[in-house]
Amino acid sequence: MQIDGERMREDFDALAAIGATAAGGVDRPSLGEAHLAARRWFLERAAAAGLATRVDAAGNHSALLAADGPTLLLGSHLDSVPNGGRYDGALGVVAALHVLLAVRGTELPVALEAIDFTDEEGTLVGLLGSEALAGTLARETLRAPRGGRDALLAGLARAGLREDELALARRDPESLAGYLELHIEQGPVLERAGVQIGVVTTIVGARSYALVFRGAAGHAGTTPMDARRDAGLAAAAFVVAANELVVRDFPGCVATIGDLHLEPGAYNVVPGSARVALEFRSGDGAELEALETALLDAARREADAQRTELEIAPVGRWKPTPLDAGVCDAIENAAAALGLESLRLRSGAGHDAQAVAGVTPAGMIFVPSVAGLSHDPGESTAWEDCVNGANVLLGAALRLACR
């Protein structure tokens, strides 16, 4: 039993045409017109192939292969970041559909469901559909969504969804047999290693902080170097120190200063304040905690060194999510059975799997991203790798179905 790579290619290309951008990517922000068109295409394609379909109260779109047993979910998402690439999310949904097409006609002890989760990317909320399914979508999150309240309400209205009904999408964990997701890696690890299949052991946790260094603005000509309280220098020294300590003491972790804003911000004025956007990630809860301590200590040290004040405000936090060991083994065995090399690795990005993992054994399969590029129209994965990934998804699904 295997995936029909050519038919999958046709479907993948048809999907990539919906919301296609001139740069070769797709622009399908969650619950926008292009995204809704992609979801319609998915249901119509499944129905045309004779599969049952459903849309739940959170707008999750599914194709179904019924059976007398719990449901094994295979999924990902059809929304994209604004001006994103064509592989992120879409590959996992198309591959899941083709697993159902390959399995059709074979009796399994579990139902198979290819599911397209609502708003994974967070244009509106982030993991909206998968958290609704897991029963963890918080009311507070909906009240102050990432993309703003107006955008959320407009999106729900366009999709014909009701905010007060989203939670009805919750599934009873007893009804689920597991979750598998095929996704592009979005990083360079598999390509660098020359390995075709990644087995995701953990989805890393992340925390973010807004740091503000406050010194004293001063005339750039008349304020001697030793009389300055240069907030920009304090911030810069922190950027350097943060990078050094992560590389030296926290291998496998990342820390990023993605934005830095100086006030008043002129050639001839010593910066009086510097606002720094800090984010860091680790796959391990204790390590994330230690990384936070080390980073914030470094910020305090550099603030002191320049005689500046430091304000620390938490912005976001999300826990590391270990994926199921048995599911990881199933993926690894499926790859080996196909003669494919696999590598265990962490996912540095968030995925629907982290929501679903709370209620059913979940796993993820990564395929290599060319040059590690992601969230970019140039995002790409060799088609052969895509088909390999789909076949591993199929093999792992069969292993989980029959265990």
**CB 400 to a copy of itself: min, Å:** 26
Retrieve residue 308's tokens. 């500046």
- Angle, vertex CA 257, rays to CA 266 and CA 366, nearest 5: 145
Residue from 178, 187, 215, 368 binding a copy of itself (CB under 8 A): 187
Rule CB under 8 A: say whether 313 interacts with a copy of itself.
no
- Decide: is 381 part of the binding site for a copy of itself (CB under 8 A): no
**Which one, 95 or 262, has the nearer CB to a copy of itself?**
262
Token representation of residue 302: 């550099």
Using rule CB under 8 A, residue 243 touches a copy of itself: yes
Which of 218, 300, 329, 370 forms a contact with a copy of itself (CB under 8 A)? Answer: 218
Residue type (1 letter), 272: G
Residue 140 binding a copy of itself, by CB under 8 A: no
Question: Hey, what are 39's tokens?
Answer: 């979801």
- 315 or 325, CB closer to a copy of itself? 315
In this chain, which of 5, 24, 135, 188 binds a copy of itself, going by CB under 8 A? 188
Give dist(CA 262, CA 239) in Å, integer: 14
Which tokens in the block code for residue 200?
């995701």
Convert residues 265-284 into a mask of x (bound to a copy of itself by CB under 8 A) and - (unbound).
xxxxxxx-----xxx-x---
Whether the CB-CB separation of 255 and 298 falls below 8 Å is answered with: no
Summary count for the chain: helices (H), strands (E)? 12, 15
Q: How far lies 36's CA from each of 88, 114, 130, 187, in Å?
A: 17, 17, 17, 28
* Residue 287 or 329 with smaller CB distance to a copy of itself: 287
- Using rule CB under 8 A, residue 323 touches a copy of itself: no
177 binds a copy of itself (CB under 8 A): no
The packing angle between helices 383-401 and 90-103, to 10°, is 50
| Closer of 172 and 226 to a copy of itself (Cβ) | 226
Q: How many residues does the chain have?
A: 403
Using the rule CB under 8 A, is 352 a contact of a copy of itself? no
Q: In whole angstroms, how close is the CB of 306 to a copy of itself at the nearest point?
A: 9
257 belongs to the binding site for a copy of itself (CB under 8 A): yes
**Site map 223..242 versus a copy of itself, x via CB under 8 A:** xxxxx--x-xx-xxx-xx--
The secondary structure of 193-228 as a DSSP string is HT-SEEEEEEEPEEEEEEEEEE-B-EETTTS-GGG-
75 or 187, CB closer to a copy of itself? 187
Query: What's the rounded Cα separation, in Å, for the pair 382 and 368?
Result: 8
Q: Using alpha carbons only, what angle is made at residue 348 by residues 255 and 320, rounded to the nearest 5 degrees?
A: 90
The residue ranges that bind a copy of itself (CB under 8 A) are: 185-189, 192, 204, 206, 208, 217-227, 230, 232-233, 235-237, 239-240, 243, 246-247, 252, 254-262, 265-271, 277-279, 281, 315-316, 347-350, 372, 374-376
